[in-house]
Structure 1
């Protein structure tokens, strides 16, 4: 992004009065220019669409579209994580393609770093547990509910553990060595989740943590840690790699407990049919 800013700054003295209006808008609101048609940009600073196009050509681009794609890419590169920056996107890619590439990169990183033996231990523990409890930071509770819902459908004896509820205290009171807590602990970490994991550990329960780093505060209470990165592009977290990891765990569980899972899902399907739920 800095090289683009320098290019516009260096050319500023050669711009006409109308072109300087566009340049000033670029310095103030680059995101507006990145995602607005040339006509809208012109209206914002009271110049014609053709003036906007000529301005980009004066900067060395074939036209507004090429300049806009370059600006989108520069803005994306500025905000993508280090893994994305190590493999910068091509100049001809759109902003959307850059964002999707960042998610692809996070999955490739997972592929390269995942400890498959550890993953199989997690699958084995989940399968053998008498009871499974799934919990997480409140930012991660949607993930926890999705994964816990599938485990409940496939294996039974699975419940959501939500701190602060009446059910939570009953679950903690009953927790024992034959139970497993599966916790989602991605930033921002909460004290409530850390306290839950510490209590579970004291009670002898198995603790499995999915988190973004071995240095995560949740890792110290875990018997098994599955590390997977979360992209934070434009301050919006992407859990694409986390979903990929969870899907792999689910498939391993399905293979390991095939007969049991098949029977449970058949029972569920029969209930759906009996209630005439689906069209």
Structure 2
């Protein structure tokens, strides 16, 4: 995906697209400016309520001007925002017309877990066509070293990915600290021969993460991003966007689907260089056995 294109994955729930995913359908194949991406992202994040908000309220939500909302609607092929809002209401009404069996039941904790299960179902549907994950795996497998960016909430996921990736890749570098040190380490990786960067960017999108993606692109690195949505702010700087929804039902977000996607991506890296992967794994097992690292 280039900088100004928008990638959207087909996601289905019980045989019909969920309202959030039908909203994403509105943007499929449309080239959006960074400002329009912010509006699109707000509509996706607030799919249930956006259909009943005015253009001014959408503008406030996305922190853009009201005329930008109007231009956004026209870019999607509507006469203006009222026409787009009518379409959003149709989508919302269709979503409310689901069979009773699809209505969430149970307490708040059960609903949060069920929502995560639904996020995994959506991810599974995306992987019906694995081409983008396969392409991302090839890009990352060939990068020596392989920098992995993850700041704030994404830092544990970046570390988790890197722990296992280091077993099959000779030089994985976790970039989990912001400030001038982040720029230094990114520059050092590029100077050492890195050709690609994996970035994990999750809400609430750290500004430093987006700055680092911008610098990576300027340095000529290919950028693969795992994020929560195809219209995430990080998508603007990515060559390949791999979306996985974040659970937002509890006080703090759940990252089950992004973590699963990270490991799926690691599998694609292994598949891109199977003989190298096998050799590295055998060497690790021999070393671990010699040092008696594990109990079994």
Coarse TM-score class (shorter-chain normalised): 0.5 to 0.7
Alpha-carbon distance in 2 for matches of 1:206, 1:194: 14
| 1:94 positional shift | 5.8
Report which of the two structures shows the higher radius of gyration computed on alpha carbons.
1
Structure 1 residues 166 and 94: CA distance shift in structure 2, 3 A: closer
Map Cα deviations across residues 236-264 of structure 1 (whole Å, 9 max, x no partner).
21111112212222223333322211211
Residue in 2 aligned with 1:151? 165
Structure 1 residues 102 and 234: CA distance shift in structure 2, 3 A: same
| 1:159 positional shift | 0.8
Residue in 2 aligned with 1:231? 247
Structure 1 residues 187 and 167: CA distance shift in structure 2, 3 A: closer
3-state DSSP of counterpart to 2:248: strand
Residue in 2 aligned with 1:160? 174
Give the counterpart of 2:144 among 112, 126, 130.
130
Q: Count residues with an aligned counterpart.
A: 195
- Structure 1: where are the runs of 5+ without partners? 1-82
Q: In the alignment, does 2:284 pair up with 1:247?
A: no
Alpha-carbon distance in 1 for matches of 2:107, 2:194: 51
Q: Contact 1:178–1:206 (CA<8 Å) still a contact in 2?
A: no
Q: In the alignment, does 2:226 pair up with 1:213?
A: no
Relative contact order: is structure 1 or structure 2 higher (C-alpha 8 Å, sep ≥ 6)?
2
Map Cα deviations across residues 12-67 of structure 1 (whole Å, 9 max, x no partner).
xxxxxxxxxxxxxxxxxxxxxxxxxxxxxxxxxxxxxxxxxxxxxxxxxxxxxxxx
Q: Contact 1:194–1:218 (CA<8 Å) still a contact in 2?
A: yes
Aligned-CA RMSD value: 2.6
Alpha-carbon distance in 2 for matches of 1:96, 1:184: 26
Q: Contact 1:84–1:105 (CA<8 Å) still a contact in 2?
A: no
Alpha-carbon distance in 1 for matches of 2:96, 2:210: 31
Structure 1 residues 174 and 156: CA distance shift in structure 2, 3 A: closer
Q: Contact 1:201–1:221 (CA<8 Å) still a contact in 2?
A: yes
- Structure 2: where are the runs of 5+ without partners? 1-94
Alpha-carbon distance in 2 for matches of 1:84, 1:159: 46
3-state DSSP of counterpart to 1:208: strand
Q: Contact 2:112–2:247 (CA<8 Å) still a contact in 1?
A: no
Task: Give TM-score scaled by structure 1 length.
Answer: 0.62
Map Cα deviations across residues 165-187 of structure 1 (whole Å, 9 max, x no partner).
75751441451685211111111
Alpha-carbon distance in 2 for matches of 1:231, 1:142: 16
Residue in 1 aligned with 2:49? none
3-state DSSP of counterpart to 2:168: helix
Please list, as runs of the form range in 1=range in 2, the aligned pairs for 1:1-279 lying within 5 A after superposition: 87-90=102-105, 93=106, 96-114=109-127, 116-162=130-176, 163-164=178-179, 166=181, 169-175=184-190, 178-279=194-295
Q: Contact 2:112–2:250 (CA<8 Å) still a contact in 1?
A: no
Map Cα deviations across residues 142-161 of structure 1 (whole Å, 9 max, x no partner).
00011112112112121112
Alpha-carbon distance in 1 for matches of 2:270, 2:188: 30
Q: Contact 1:84–1:102 (CA<8 Å) still a contact in 2?
A: no
